[in-house]
Amino acid sequence: ARAAAVAASVGPGRTADGHPVPLLANIGGPKDVPAALENGAEGVGLYRTEFLFLDRADAPGHEEQVAAYRAVLEAFPGAKVVVRTLDAGADKPLAFLPPSAGEPNPALGERGVRMMRLFPEVLETQLAALAEAARDTAAELRVMAPMVTDEADAAWFAEAAAKAGIEGAGVMIEVPAAAIRAAHIAATAGFFSVGTNDLTQYTCAADREVGALGRFQDPWQPAVLDLVAMAAQAADAAGRECGVCGEAAADPVLACVLTGLGVTSLSMGAGALPAVRAALSRVTLQECRAAASAARAARDAEGAGRAARDHLPGLA
Ligand code: PEP
Ligand code: MG
């Protein structure tokens, strides 16, 4: 009720001509809930669950997980809460799973859903805890898998979720292969959420941990925008939602471009919500589409940003 009340006081995300773009919060645990509510989040678009698993020798047990999930779900009655299952490996190594440091290229190694396919009992415990937490609350629980590469990954995850009683499991689109095959994956996945941080890293072959690659570690890269458009179009054709939960959603100008590409919701750190809400309220859907086309036609990330701004006079 509190989430709905705050969201109502600031209004839901929408363009100047009334096209709704639900604005959701990225959270890393119950501690982030107050800021999400204060900034009028209409739900949670990305609950990163790694915090529960980091800096400890053993995986958290069932009861501990139920408590952490319930604390978040209870705060969003009637709203969507998208929980990403454990994204271990690469930049998120865990003590009780084999260290990705042993791999020559951890970002290209066993991580996300790949790691869960090696240790299915870790995912089973998590999904069972999520199902139980949701039983006691009025939030609309959704689960999604990180690092899905192909339709088989999506199907494997959807089956694991269904076994725990959670239907309509979604996938993150953060591997270029998944974006390219989005039409196929949409047949299996309940929804898409584009992770632009990793999608940019993998599309531009630019390690997200290497600051010097900034020019390529930029979601404005036209190739990244093309892949987002592919995912959004495939989702739309299949009657699925396609949100964005990477850092790109927190950039007010890029948020308008993503809307123009056909993205159906935007999820970001709570602090970014007011500026993105304000930007959307000053542009029309048509302007967003024109900005998106212009950005995709640019020759690099910087040019894409410049071209987009030219088509969004309300943001000047
Ligand atoms: C992403 O990759 O864009 C994403 C949202 O996930 P993370 O940053 O946690 O890898
Ligand atoms: Mg990611």
Residue of the CA atom closest to atom 1 of ligand 1: 195
Find the ligand nearest to 197 CA: 1
pLDDT, residue 49, reads 97
Phi-psi label, residue 239: left if phi above 0, alpha if psi -120 to 50, beta otherwise: left
* pLDDT > 70? residue 6: no
* pLDDT > 90? residue 226: yes
The confidence band for 8, taking pLDDT boundaries of 50, 70 and 90, is low
Per-residue model confidence as pLDDT tens digits over 146-176: 999 999 999 999 999 999 999 999 999 999 9
* pLDDT > 80? residue 2: no
What is the pTM assigned to this prediction? Answer: 0.96
Per-residue model confidence as pLDDT tens digits over 53-65: 998 889 999 999 9
pLDDT, residue 99, reads 63
Residue of the CA atom closest to atom 3 of ligand 1: 195
pLDDT, residue 172, reads 98
Among the atoms of ligand 1, which is closest to the Cα of residue 246? 3
Per-residue model confidence as pLDDT tens digits over 12-29: 999 999 999 999 999 999
Phi-psi label, residue 169: left if phi above 0, alpha if psi -120 to 50, beta otherwise: beta
Residue of the CA atom closest to atom 9 of ligand 1: 48
The confidence band for 250, taking pLDDT boundaries of 50, 70 and 90, is very high
Annotated active-site residue in 242, 245, 256, 288: 245
Among the atoms of ligand 1, which is closest to the Cα of residue 50? 9
The confidence band for 214, taking pLDDT boundaries of 50, 70 and 90, is confident
What's the rounded Cα separation, in Å, for the pair 141 and 78? 10
Cα(195) to ligand 2 centroid in Å equals 5
Q: Is 309 annotated as a binding residue?
A: no
Flag the least confident range among 195-204, 210-219, 244-253. Answer: 210-219
What's the rounded Cα separation, in Å, for the pair 119 and 97? 8
The confidence band for 229, taking pLDDT boundaries of 50, 70 and 90, is very high
Q: Is 287 annotated as a binding residue?
A: no
Ligand 1 mutation target, pool 192, 194, 197, most atoms within 8 A of CB: 197
pLDDT, residue 97, reads 84
Per-residue model confidence as pLDDT tens digits over 84-113: 999 998 777 788 887 656 788 889 999 999
Find the ligand nearest to 48 CA: 1
Q: Is 215 annotated as a binding residue?
A: no
Per-residue model confidence as pLDDT tens digits over 259-315: 999 999 999 999 999 999 999 999 999 999 999 999 999 999 999 999 999 999 999
State yes or no: is 245 an active-site residue. yes
Query: What residues are in contact with ligand 1 under a 6 Å CB criterion?
Result: 46, 48, 87, 174, 195-198, 245-246
Per-residue model confidence as pLDDT tens digits over 102-146: 788 889 999 999 999 999 999 999 999 999 999 989 999 999 999
The confidence band for 211, taking pLDDT boundaries of 50, 70 and 90, is confident
Q: Is 296 annotated as a binding residue?
A: no
Cα(201) to ligand 2 centroid in Å equals 9
**Percentage of residues of the chain with pLDDT beyond 70:** 96
